[in-house]
Amino acid sequence: MGLSRRLHLRPRQAHRQTPARVSRPCGIPAGRGVGDRRDLRGDARALYRELPVRRAAIIGFAATLAALYLPSWRAVLGDFPAHMLRHMGLVAVAAPLLVLALPDLARRFGPPVVLGAFFEFVVVWLWHLPVLHGWAQTEGAGTLFEQVMFLAAGWAVWAGALSAREPLLGAGGLFLTSMHMTLLGAILILAPSDLYAEICGRAPDLSGQQLGGMLMLAIGTPIYILGGLALTRRTLLGGLT
């Protein structure tokens, strides 16, 4: 018998080294890495930058509502121009300010761009049919429901456009909205007679209807175009980076 058999020698096993423990940086909780902490810092910086915009938007939204409803615009402008001023103030001024004040809510519940623009189109044109317009002008419940629908329609189109993944798609929605607003304003200006006098039970006021159409063109059209241009600019700048 050989020496190795008598001594029952076994092959020598390789020495196992346990991996060195890497200490976790101070201040990072268990289960969260350095990359996650950087993400949190980035989110905090983004929130810090958004806060002044949110505050300004909240103040602007409150100021817009006060400007629309505290003065007696009917005594100053007449029935139809006052109605149109509030309509445009809600969909083109108050609604985008509300979206900017509540960006998380807009991103979570904002509709797709096309759906939001279509909803706004339907609401605006339906409420300018003589039957619904007459109800809104003569009944308190109709007025309240109309104003709420206008704000909801404005929220839909602006939330969809400003929170869209592709800013250019949001710009398209705003441009389409400006087009149908312009068309409706032109119809009101060029109509040969007062479309709402009979159903509202008042004397015809063609000049008041024309003034209302001009307010739609002067307020709604440029705001939607500027919003679309801003989103287009964001797309172009994003393509350059």
Which pLDDT score, from 0 to 100, does residue 94 have? 97
The predicted-structure confidence for 96-125, as pLDDT tens digits, reads as follows 999 999 999 999 989 999 999 999 999 999
Query: What mean pLDDT, rounded, does the chain reach?
Result: 84
* Prediction pTM value: 0.76
Average pLDDT over residues 161-179: 94
> Which of the four pLDDT bands, split at 50, 70 and 90, describes residue 51?
confident
Which pLDDT score, from 0 to 100, does residue 52 have? 86
Residue with more model confidence, 236 or 149:
149
> Which of the four pLDDT bands, split at 50, 70 and 90, describes residue 62?
very high
Residue with more model confidence, 22 or 206:
206
pLDDT above 70 (res 66): yes
Average pLDDT over residues 80-90: 94
Which pLDDT score, from 0 to 100, does residue 53 have? 85
Nearest to 138 by CA among 67, 198, 191: 198
> Which of the four pLDDT bands, split at 50, 70 and 90, describes residue 48?
very low
